[in-house]
Amino acid sequence: MARLTLGSIAKTLTPDQMTILAKAFRDYSVANYAANFDGFSGERFDQSPPRQNGTLTVIPTRLVPPNDGRPVQLDYVVHQVDGQWKISDVLAEGGASQAASNRADFKPILTSQGFDALISAINAKTKTLSQQK
How high is the pLDDT of residue 133? 56
Q: Work out how many domains the chain is built from and give that number.
A: 1
How high is the pLDDT of residue 40? 66
**Measuring CA to CA, which residue among 85, 104, 123, 115 is closest to residue 4?**
104
How high is the pLDDT of residue 30? 86
- Alpha-carbon distance of 97 to 112, in angstroms, equals 23
How high is the pLDDT of residue 38? 65
Q: What is the CATH number of the domain that holds 65?
A: 3.10.450.710
Helical (H) or strand (E) element with 73 = strand 72-81
**Domain extent for 12:** 2-35+42-108
Residue 123 lies in a domain: no
**Measuring CA to CA, which residue among 105, 95, 80 is closest to residue 2?**
105
Residue 93 lies in a domain: yes
How high is the pLDDT of residue 49? 94
Residue 125 lies in a domain: no
How high is the pLDDT of residue 44? 85
How high is the pLDDT of residue 42? 77
pTM: 0.76
Which portions of the chain are predicted below pLDDT 50? none
